[in-house]
Structures are given as C-alpha cells and as structure tokens.
Amino acid sequence: MENQWSKFRLRVNVKTDMAAAYKAWNTSEALESWFLRKAVFKDAEGNLKDKKAPIVEGDTYEWFWYGYPDSVVEKGKVLKANGKNVFSFTFSLECPVTITIYEEAGETIVELVESDLPTDTETALKYFVGDSRGWIFYMANLKSILEGGLDLRNKRMELTNVITS
C-alpha cells in the first residue's frame, strides 16, 4: 500500500483550451504571468533562455516569488515538456511535479501531482502540507488568469504571512 503522504494530486477545471493551458507552463514569460515574480531558465548547455522561448526537457531553472527576497529561490530541472499536455520538473527536495492537461466532461483539467515526498513526520508536515498549500493557491490563480480574471498574488514585500504569496 502506498503511503498517503508520499504524494498529492490537485486538479482544477479551466475554461480554456488545452493548448492555452499548456502554454501557461511553457515559457518564463507565461510562468511570470500567474505564478512567479521571476523565472530564469537555462538550456542544457547552461545558456540563458529568452523569456519567450519554449521550455524543454533538460532545461534548468531558478524561480523567485512575490513576497519573498531573492535569497528565497527554488532551483530545479525540467524532466519533461512535450509541447502538448505534459510538463514535469523537480521541485522541493528534487521531488517530481508533473502537470497533465486533459479534457474531462467537456472541460479542460489541469492536474498537478507532486510525488516521491519523504514520509517522515517532520518532512511530511513541511513539504506535503506546505507545498500542497502553495500549489492550491497557484492553481486557483492559474484558473483566474486563464479565465480573464484577476491576478490574486500579493506583490508587496511588506505584506507577509498571507496565503497569496
């Protein structure tokens, strides 16, 4: 039996087509429109990528969030980017996060699975709970942005401990 703390799955329905949903994950510019303050990608040779360049398997990244100083940075690697419906990358503790986009009941679904999380109590509390909490907000913000809504992110450094950053 799989440990229930080793992964979590989040799904959001979005009123857009699959191509637009995938595009939201596929460039630095797109990620900065709903998720990150700054997304820096480098290709497999270590060259800085243009913000409009598609992200591909083997790229590495540095991600920065609103509400946090530049000392708070997530570094990782793109594991898969098929240009259509799957985008996967390493995240906390180099655990894989896989985004899968598909249709269900006539709607576009964006599904996020973070897996291979360590299951000891301290790690489970910090990463399972902390990461899922953050991803819930960002998936809701993705829905809001893609459906022509508001950007819900807190962009003010002086406001801390809010669920929007």
Domain of residue 42, CATH code: 3.30.530.20
Asked whether 85 and 70 are in contact (CB, 8 A), the reply is: no
Which residue range is the domain that position 34 belongs to? 8-146
Provide the 10 A C-beta neighbour count for residue 84: 11
DSSP helix/strand/coil, 31: helix
Enter the pTM of the model: 0.93
Domain count, the chain: 1
What's the maximum distance between 2 C-alpha atoms anywhere in the chain? 45
Residues 106-116 pLDDT 10s: 999 999 999 99
Residue 160 belongs to a domain:
no
Amino acid code (one letter) for 74: E
Over 90: is that where the pLDDT of 121 sits? no
